[in-house]
Structure 1
Amino acid sequence: MSGPVPAVWVVASHRMLKNPNDHDQRYTLVDEAGQLTVLNEGLQPMTYPRAPLDRVEALLDTVDGILLGGSDTNVHPHLYGEEPHHEGMLFDHERDELAQALIRLAIAKRVPIISFCRGCQDFNVAMGGSLHQCLQDQPGRVKHWEDPDEEIDDQYAERHFVTTVLGGELERITGMHRFPASSLHAQGVKELGQGLVAEAHADDGLVEAFRWHDPSLFAWGFQFHPEWGWRWHPAYHRIMDAYVAACWQHFSARTGAPVPVPQTPHPPQMA
């Protein structure tokens, strides 16, 4: 699409990685699958890495959506009143600081939010919720975590089923009450934050999707990854389309530009 389009702030992560000379070096990383998905759906991904907190509100006024993707790091448990359960857990204090403030401000200013995996954990904690720090340590869980020796496509393949709340918003958006979902995470929602409503669960009861209580604002957390496989997975496709539509509505309200007429492609089919 030519001309101005909605911009989506893809929240960056920060990691210590090996450079080409095998030295430890700090890098700022931006979620690849998330940004390519919004780009392919006609929006423009962007980022403001390490934005000082006193600039966040002004920067937020330049975008029409927020995307918080996954990461190998964890939300620091100090943010929900706990100590780390294990030594060697990876944290990202810079992402914590920015994401917590950005999510709360985006809710207040009614900017659409979509969050996946660690991103949905950012969202839950920002609203005062807490996390299970290590699902592998809990008996009776379905397998939520990936095998490290799997190929990347296998790690993002559907691992278990999720069931939507009967008559809920996710069932309405997807048109499905139960569907297979990807799952590669060690942590998950323990207590939902204030104002958040559960919309889907795994068979062991773990929250797999939640939203802001006011459905007129698209602000969602997904423990699975709709940004992977959205071209063919019908639930993922409809989730991403709903987010894109919300970003266009925000863009139209912000700029006065018309909302494009939705196209009607052939519906995606399950493989």
Structure 2
Amino acid sequence: MSNNNSGKRKPVVLMSMGVQERKGHAYQVMTHKYIVPLVELSGCVPLLAPTCCGSDDLEQYLDMVDGVYLTGAGSNIDPALYNQENLTPDKAQDRDRDLFDLPLIRAAIARGLPLFGICRGMQEINVALGGDIHQKLYAVGDFDDHREDSDDPVDVQYGESHSVRLVAGSWLAELLGKDEISTNSLHGQGIATLGEGLEPLAYAEDGLIEAIHAPGLAQFTLAVQWHPEWQASANPDSVKIFQAFGAACRQRMAQTTPANHR
């Protein structure tokens, strides 16, 4: 399935990369599974931005794009950025990505760019707007353990894990045409206090916030804690989410691109 419009300019979407070490060398990477649905379902062109060189060029990047897409990653956000001590020192961090993405989010919001976040990306949006997260969700109150079993095959890790209840009457519930969906679950952290202007769109069975938006903003904003990018084209809910983001980016492009360049 594809939104490929031959001969027409497609929206450009910024994706920030993250660090990964391989045989003593630091790489900047982006996982294939995040890129494919953006191209095939959203109908957009990805612009991959390295985060290892600081944020001085953020505005120039944003001049080139029609939306921002913040993906998941194996690293956690540095808790110092939401005024907490690090309770998971054994977990990888990527401070370069933190220091690129947090100002990126605020700048994208200021420009009115569509914004879509997945897993770490959802947590970044929350922290960028002054919220915080549970560093050890599995050790807090009545929350379930939302982590995957690393010994399981990948297909099992990304298999359906629990149901998510969508806020009744919300635009996300209307988009998906239902009040409850089944999702995968691969995270050890989760939203605690919501950032300024953010509101829940969905909850897990244990009450954890699983999706957020910013209803006070004119542009498309959506972030989810699960992984809709996994085998997205085979999941009708994921297809609708990626298509909605692509439509928002096309609308933004139409508003800012002269007619003779479309």
- Alignment TM-score, normalising by the size of structure 2: 0.92
Larger deviation, residues 96-105 vs 36-45: 36-45
- The C-alpha deviation readout for 1:147-186, integer Å capped at 9, x for no partner, is 0111112111111000011111211221110010111001
Identity %: 35
Aligned Cα root-mean-square deviation (Å): 1.7
Aligned equivalents of 1:143, 1:25: Cα separation in 2:
34
Within a 5 Å distance, the mapping from 1:154-193 to structure 2 comes to 154-193=156-195
Contact kept? 1:12, 1:95, Cα under 8 Å: yes
- 1:210 Cα shift? 0.1
- Does 1:2 find its partner at 2:6? yes
- Does 1:31 find its partner at 2:31? yes
Aligned equivalents of 2:146, 2:185: Cα separation in 1:
5
> Which residue number corresponds to residue 45 of structure 2?
44
- 1:28 Cα shift? 0.6
Contact kept? 1:113, 1:218, Cα under 8 Å: yes
Structure 2 letter corresponding to 1:33: K
- 1:257 Cα shift? 4.7
Aligned equivalents of 2:90, 2:259: Cα separation in 1:
49
Within a 5 Å distance, the mapping from 1:26-105 to structure 2 comes to 26-41=26-41, 42-50=43-51, 52-105=54-107
Contact kept? 1:7, 1:45, Cα under 8 Å: yes
Contact kept? 2:12, 2:66, Cα under 8 Å: yes
- 1:215 Cα shift? 6.0
Q: Which runs of 5+ in 1 are unaligned?
A: 261-271
Larger deviation, residues 236-245 vs 212-221: 212-221
Structure 1 letter corresponding to 2:6: S
Contact kept? 1:77, 1:84, Cα under 8 Å: yes
Aligned equivalents of 1:118, 1:86: Cα separation in 2:
15
Larger deviation, residues 230-239 vs 171-180: 230-239
Structure 1 letter corresponding to 2:104: L
- 1:91 Cα shift? 0.7
- 1:70 Cα shift? 0.8
**1:12 counterpart (13, 17, 24):** 17
> Which residue number corresponds to residue 204 of structure 1?
206
Structure 2 letter corresponding to 1:103: I
Compared CA separation, residues 142 and 257, structure 1 to 2 (3 A): farther
- 1:236 Cα shift? 1.6
- The C-alpha deviation readout for 1:211-242, integer Å capped at 9, x for no partner, is 01236411111001111232232222211111
Aligned equivalents of 1:77, 1:143: Cα separation in 2:
20
SS at 1:10's partner residue? strand
Aligned equivalents of 1:93, 1:145: Cα separation in 2:
22
Aligned equivalents of 1:7, 1:129: Cα separation in 2:
28
Aligned equivalents of 2:138, 2:64: Cα separation in 1:
41
- Alignment TM-score, normalising by the size of structure 1: 0.89
- 1:54 Cα shift? 2.8
Aligned equivalents of 2:213, 2:67: Cα separation in 1:
15
Larger deviation, residues 248-257 vs 127-136: 248-257
Contact kept? 1:107, 1:219, Cα under 8 Å: no
SS at 2:34's partner residue? helix
Contact kept? 1:8, 1:43, Cα under 8 Å: yes
Larger deviation, residues 122-131 vs 141-150: 141-150
